[in-house]
Amino acid sequence: MGKPCAQCGKELSQDARVCSQCGAPVQAMPTAAQTMIGFSSPLAPPVAQPQPPAPAPAPAPAPMAQTMLGFAAPDLRVPPAQPAPPPAQPAPLAAGMKTMLGVAAPGIAPAPAPQPQPQPQPAAKLGSGTILGVAVPGIAPLHATPGLAPPPQPQPPPQAKPQFSGTMLLEQAPIVPAPAPYVPEAAPAAPVVVARRGFPLAAVAIVASVLLLGGGGAILYFARSSNPLTATAKVSPEGKEQLHLVCEGCPDGTMATLSNGNGATASFTKHEADLDLATPLAIGDNAFSIALDRPGVGRDETVKLVLPLAYRIRGDLDGLAAATPELRVDVEAQKGATVTVDGKPVTLDASGKATLSYDVSADTTGEADDVRTLERKLPYEVVGKDKKKSQGEVLLRVAVMRLRVGAPGASLVTDQPRVWIAGVTSKGGVVTANGAPLTVAADGAFEGQVDVQDGAQKIVVRASPPEADAKKVAPRTTTVSVERVASLASEAAKLDKAPTPGGDALAGDPAAAVGQAAAITGSVIDARAEHHHAVLLVSDKRDCKTGLCVVRVEYGADVDVRAGDPVAAYGSVGKPISTPDGKTLPVVDATIVRKGTKK
């Protein structure tokens, strides 16, 4: 049996010099260090090879000598560290000879010793190329010795064309990079077709209803479209009557214009819009023509509405400015209707109207250190001539101004022809004293002088909101008493004779003495004055057996006293206050304070 071919493993005859399968030259008979398929094991010890004779020039390869895929694999193995004697020069490849897979496996066969520089190969004949007809440099083997790395080849100059051997293609095909991986994309969305729908130009049908302005009540108008238009009469926060429109077929930006009347316009937001009415709605039928201008390609049209109004019940704040502050309720109804408000029947005049008044002077009179809220809830019932009943509630809510008067206080006795009126109110307020305007600072502090006549008199101090808030805030009024006398000394002498609680009684139970007449005589411990209002701490010496009876004195006028000065104060016992140390301090609202009186 012959030896196997080192290139493809085909069994060869004893005298074969070239493999008939792949055309590889036949080397010397392998030693025991070779493998079964004719390759040296990388683990076997190297075997010395006999010196081969000088190689003969290799003939040109036979036509169609090629691998199964058309390309011989390049030699990628690492050269051996120790050189070996060069093998014999291989013979030219025989036609039709190839390996099992068509590629010589590098890195497995034993590395032969370095070979002498091979002779240049002659040019290939026509037809001796790859299956594609192009000899690809760097891929197909350029030498006939199997298992050896190809000799270094000079790099061709740029744009140099490879040699060809009569192939069908005249130049090497360019190497094109692989395409990007396929990424599936969603199909584009189908175009949106907007249906042109809207309200017809003809007048819409009407649903009978009733309306309470300011309390709620809706009316629905339906067109022959699938989208209804809802119209509701309402009152704005500023007190204007409006048409509140709801249109599901009107996208944001749709403009509604009142074609008749004042030509008011409004823009729809979230299918809603409010149209201001130039004049209040009338009892009965109210005809409107509303132009709808939809944005883009939306349908534009004009809708005609007839709004029947059965009655109106509306709160009125104009009565707050009267001498006796009051809230009013205006009632209008169709003829034949019966109206009841707050459980009381309402008598309508010939025109079907009536005005109800509610005194709120108790809620708007007196001093208050902060803004208060005035609220009234008045239930109502309306029975139409068709015997249909409607019930609801009128809610009246309004803020009341802040007002605190420090001078002259609740009561003052003076021998002067003019007195100071001073205090604090809400920012932006307007303050008058008996109708005379006072100066109001930006923080709400006010002051001014008014003339007083002989004898006792009343001064009305009124704090009103600015004109812009006249329908939102109610004024507050308080009254102070001033008595003009010829001599303060004579008045003090009269008060000295009146029975009053002594220092021990005030200090022991000040709450029990509230409202009683008071007379304090002692020395000033501390004194403060601001905006014509004085606050004194006095050590009361009258009937004080405990040694120290301290009283706080409030006085609504200017007085020139300092700590240590003797003083006498007359007035009434006020509400006591608590001190930071947890004690209760009696208070005297003084009408007269005299300096220098000792007793």
Distance of CA 515 to the CA centre of its chain: 57
- Our measurement of the distance from residue 202's CA atom to the centroid of its chain's CA atoms, rounded to an integer in Å, reads 43
pLDDT confidence bin for 171, thresholds 50/70/90: very low
Is the backbone peptide bond immediately before 475 cis, with ω within 30 degrees of 0? no
Q: Is beta strand 584-595 parallel, antiparallel or unpaired with respect to 550-555?
A: parallel
Structure tokens at 15: 């005298």
Q: Which pair of tokens denotes residue 506? A: 């005030």
Residue of 357, 322, 360, 323 lying closest to 342 (CA atoms)? 357
Residue 25 — pLDDT band, cuts 50, 70, 90? confident
Query: End-to-end distance of the chain based on CA atoms, in angstroms?
Result: 157
> What is residue 196's predicted lDDT score, i.e. its pLDDT?
31
Architecture of domain 312-400: Sandwich (2.60)
User: Is domain 403-484 annotated with CATH 2.60.40.10?
Assistant: yes
Residue % of the chain over a pLDDT of 70: 65
Banded model confidence at residue 187, pLDDT cuts 50, 70, 90: very low
- Ramachandran bin of 508, using left for φ above 0, alpha for ψ from -120 to 50, beta for the remaining angles: alpha
pLDDT at 94: 43
Interval 300-313: pLDDT, tens: 888 888 888 889 99
For tokens 């199997």, the residue is: 146
> What is the average pLDDT value for the chain, to the nearest integer?
74
pLDDT in tens, 486-514: 999 999 999 988 888 888 888 888 899 99
Q: DSSP 3-state assignment of 8?
A: coil
What's the pTM?
A: 0.55
Of 142-146, 215-219, 315-319, 393-397, the least confident:
215-219
- Quote the CATH superfamily of domain 488-595: Nucleic acid-binding proteins (2.40.50.140)
Residue type at position 31:
T
Distance CA 362, CA 372 (A): 12
Whether the domain at 205-309 and the domain at 312-400 fall into the same CATH topology? yes
At a CB cut-off of 8 Å and minimum separation 6, what does 236 contact?
Answer: 242, 274, 276
Q: Which pLDDT value is given to residue 335?
A: 87
Q: Tell me: the pLDDT tens digits for 34-62?
A: 444 444 444 445 544 445 555 555 444 44
pLDDT in tens, 386-433: 888 999 998 899 999 999 999 999 999 999 999 999 999 999 999 999
- Residue-level pLDDT at 501: 87
Cα(276)–Cα(307) distance, rounded to whole angstroms? Answer: 15
Residues belonging to the chain: 599
For 431, other C-beta atoms within 10 Å of its C-beta total 29
Provide the 10 A C-beta neighbour count for residue 560. 9
Domain 205-309 has CATH 2.60.40: yes
Residue 13: per-residue pLDDT: 73
Query: What are the residue ranges spanned by the domains of the chain?
Result: 1-42+57-78+85-115, 205-309, 312-400, 403-484, 488-595
- The number of helix segments (H) and strand segments (E) in the chain equals 3, 31
